[in-house]
């Protein structure tokens, strides 16, 4: 989605409703603003969105998850 926005008073810009909805931006959210190659980049700091669309930097297999889960459960066995 692409749209144009007008700079308002105190240099504010309004995020159009369609874009806010697409990125699940809500009032009070904190966004990151950067300048790169004469462009303004506004990034959403939403953990769920980052987990789905963000750059992946680690890999773990289902077997590794199961092993870790069993180890963690073992810590609590008999601790009642």
User: Distance of CA 45 to CAs 11, 51, 66, 74, 79, Å?
Assistant: 22, 11, 29, 35, 38
Average pLDDT over residues 25-39: 90
Lowest average pLDDT, out of 20-24, 33-37, 57-61, 62-66, goes to: 57-61
Average pLDDT, the chain: 85
Average pLDDT over residues 51-63: 76
Q: Please tell me the pTM assigned to this model.
A: 0.50
- Split at pLDDT 50, 70, 90, the class of 17 is very high
Higher-confidence residue: 3 or 52? 3
């Amino acid at each position: 989605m692409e749209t144009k926005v007008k700079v308002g008073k105190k240099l504010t810009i309004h995020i159009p409703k369609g874009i806010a909805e697409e990125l699940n931006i809500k009032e009070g959210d904190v966004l990151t603003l950067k300048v790169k190659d004469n462009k303004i980049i506004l990034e959403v700091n939403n953990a769920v969105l980052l987990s789905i669309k963000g750059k992946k930097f680690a890999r773990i297999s289902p077997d590794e998850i199961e092993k870790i889960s069993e180890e963690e459960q073992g810590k609590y066995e008999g601790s009642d």
